[in-house]
Structure 1
Amino acid sequence: MGKPDEVSIYGLYGEETPEDDLRFVHIEAISTRSTLYDWQIKPHAHHGMFQILFLAGGGAKVMIDQGLYNIVAPAVICIPGGTVHGFEFFPQTEGWVLTMGDSLLSAGQDSRVRELIHPLLIAPVVLPLSDSPKTVTLISSMLDKIEGEFNLPQPGRGAMFDWMIQIILLEIGRRQQPETSGTGQKKRHRKFQQFRTLLEQNYKSHWTIEDYATQLGMTTSRLNRLCRTMTGKTIGTVIQDRLILEAQRLLTYTNATATMVAFETGFRDPAYFSRFFKRRTGLSPVEFRKTQEQRSWASPSGAQS
């Protein structure tokens, strides 16, 4: 059986980025592309690319997977590779879009840096900054300097990109840290991020709870307690949520049939997949697709950022 047509994938909206450009960095003003498309950026994803949007003025209606957010500047948004997202910016919104290859974020980091940055690579972040003028000033300053380096290349530009991007991500990572900063909480947070990484790598293979626990060196009951502490959900629910999210992406942004979506998400029996989907969402795959067709964000065609 053929694979479903994919969600529109770009390095930059409307452009093909060479797959071997692993340390790719690009920065531009939000208005540069958005004004070409009446400030509306249709749902899409970036393969192997991580993106930071910083809103310095104005605002946007933001779609990330199945979530909709109304964001007023100042705010920062982090979008890991593969995440479906779209924007409807307020006219004249100001800020930057910074896009980089995933490998740029994982090379040469010590454990303390990875602990803060790694969670940003797994799940999207929408972070209002109206209560943090120091963070706004820092991120604005770094993005301005990155834009200067980008437009006027000088010796050591790659290193400058590395350092300034890490500063931005470390600042965002700090803001995302749990309020309780004791050693026990940090260990739980780190272990949960390890689980999230494994989940991203193996959810389509339908790993069992025991598989994840064994790989993490934990008992299933301890892993379940960890998930409840961090998310308020059981580990089984967290695993199923990830499968449902991927199925919803495919049903919303591709023309894949329910059977194709079932096989693409690792189900061997399409009928069982349909029952599973309805049990979790209250709708059959076909009914869910019809509801998504009513949404203005549903079409993946057109411009993307």
Structure 2
Amino acid sequence: MDKSGERLDVSGRTGRVRRAVAGANPPSTAAPGGSAPVGAALIGSHYVARRWMLVSKAARPFIHLLCLHRNSAAEVRQAGQAIVLTGPALIWLPAGSAEYLEISAGATAELLQLRTGVWHRFLPPSAEPAYLALEGAAGIMTLPVEPDLVTTMSRSIGAIASEIASPTRSGAGSIMSAELTLCVLRFWRLFAANNDQDEQGSSAEILSRFRRLLEERYHQHLRVSDYANLLGITADRLHSLCSRELQRSPSELIQQRVVKEAATRLEAGTAAVKQVAFALGFKDTAYFSRFFRKHTGEAPGMWRRRVAARARAGRSRPMLNFADWP
């Protein structure tokens, strides 16, 4: 998906690499190495192989989802070993998981490029469990599928490519969001079904996803049940996991994250307490003050003055009575 996408011919008795005719392959609809959170490439059949170096500076921040058609083949190289892929299949390549992706001569495929930590902005809240599960996937996943599903996925990727190519058309963003959501949810369904439920929902994974979700949503004051729904588990299970593994309840972790942010903002800036409260989702300054005092023992204004006094005296800042997550 970056400029390293060399079109290579690995055929011939000598095995020498030969460049293909320029422009023979449809270009990516996202600028190579650009900051766009989503890109798409339509890879038509050609008489030479084509390769994308996934460890390049431009490609490394991106997840790649490959839709490989029937009677098509590809290869990825991971830790010095070549892995051969055959269609029909859907392949998920986490960022930095492979050295290169090579589409074989004669193969047809579609390729989605998703910038880690950013591409979820195109998804609706209902797709957040899928995003959290797939964003956290550590290894390459190859899922053989029926040809009809490949065809369906390829149409969605083609539609995404079309909208990226003409971003000023009416509804381009909405259409791209809808098609990307369908792609992600279809793959997530396969991913979830392909893993044992307990394995897919291991304690470490759930807590990691909970922390990532909390970092994105702490200012929205969601309930524990809301986080549990986004994680695809019950509130009781989330409470049990947090209490057992972190010795704190989910509600304590949520509140402590808000307090930590409040303390940071009070220490670092000169914004009024009312502004800090509003920025953290509190509509009532008095309630924010009571909330902060409950967890720190001091009102927000007093906390700020004490931190400033300690700084002037060359002393360390007062410590909160809870630690960050392990």
Using structure 2 for the length normalisation, give the TM-score.
0.47
User: Whose helix proportion is higher, 1 or 2?
Assistant: 1
Q: Which has the higher contact order (CA 8 A, sep 6+)?
A: 1
Which structure is larger by alpha-carbon Rg, 1 or 2?
2
Q: TM-score, normalised by structure 1?
A: 0.49
